[in-house]
Amino acid sequence: MRSHQLNTATRILATDLDGTLIPLDNTDDAYREALEEITILASLPDVCLVFATGRSYLSSLSAIAEESLPIPHFLICDVGTAIHTYENGRFYQSSAYTKVMEHLMDSVLNQRIQEELSILDFLTLQPQAHQTPFKISYYTESEHVDTFAEQASALLMRNDLPHSLIHCIDPYEDFGMIDILPTGVSKCYALKWLLQSLKISERAVVYAGDSGNDFEVLTSGLNSIVVNNASQALKDRIRLTANNRSILGNIYFAEYPATLGVREGLEHFCILKNTTKSCKS
């Protein structure tokens, strides 16, 4: 990683990948132009780039290569259960963060969680490549993913199994996805842990997202961009939660989807300057 750049970083651009930085339909040149602007921004000495994705580490690397994305300083993957740092031309997994995950798991075994959830016939365990020591991932029906997630969480609570449950809808295949994580863990948890370890203020962050596994970050009080291809149900849930927490002013709902919406939100927060809009103070 450009370690010298982190010493001068005063702005953090953190973004989800699929459906956010990576458009679901990448045939429009406008998306590529927006990505080029974001790439130039990420190369500035006072900017630190963070990707936060539900993808695995290897899948994230494939996306970076296939979509010609800028190399991030940090890669948060597996829905916040792993952090990788880019340095000297390669990524290194954070051993300090891995120890945090191990501590949070304590004596709770993935096998026991899987055994308890096996009675729920609406859950299908994802392939082994999507499982990690700190994440158990399931497929389910997208139409009922909210209800099924509540039922799965309630079952684990009844059996005294501490956990966090994150659910969303796959933007490409339209099926529901449910991830069981250590208690309190999410993309938001990982991002805030990273900020603390770097001693960088939360006020320096702008986060962009579009799906259910971005919800915790988007409603955390950080300056956030909700790109327009996010579902209306998610937008409504974000507005309601943010209003209850009096942080609605920290969230920008973009008029454009994906990469275009990220660029639009960065202009709103005055990270990019090609706008006549009033910038958020």
Print pLDDT tens along the chain (281 aa). 444 455 567 899 999 999 999 998 877 899 999 999 999 999 999 999 999 999 999 999 999 999 999 999 999 999 999 999 999 999 999 999 999 999 888 656 788 899 999 999 999 999 998 999 999 999 999 999 999 999 999 999 999 888 899 999 987 888 999 999 999 999 999 999 999 999 999 999 999 999 999 999 999 999 999 999 999 999 999 999 999 999 999 999 999 999 999 999 999 998 876 544 445 54
What is the rounded distance in angstroms from the CA atom of residue 251 to the CA atom of residue 12? 16
Cα dist. 95→84, 98, 101 in Å? 9, 5, 10
Alpha carbon distances (Å) from 126 to 8, 64, 113, 206: 41, 23, 14, 32
List 51's β-bridge partners, or say none.
15, 75
**Chain mean position to CA 253:** 17
SS3 letters across 216-272: HHHCCCCEEEECCCCCHHHHHHHHHHHHHCCCHHHEEECCCCHHHHHHHHHHHCCCC
> Residue 75 burial by CB count (10 A; 0-12/13-18/19+): exposed, middle or buried?
buried
Burial class (CB in 10 A: 0-12, 13-18, 19+), 237: middle
* Cα–Cα dist 21/107, whole Å: 37
pTM of the shown model: 0.91
Q: Is 95 exposed, middle or buried (0-12, 13-18, 19+ CB in 10 A)?
A: exposed
Domains of the chain: 3-98+185-268 (3.40.50.1000), 109-181 (3.90.1070.10)
Q: Which of 122, 238, 134, 135 is nearest to 176 (CA)?
A: 122
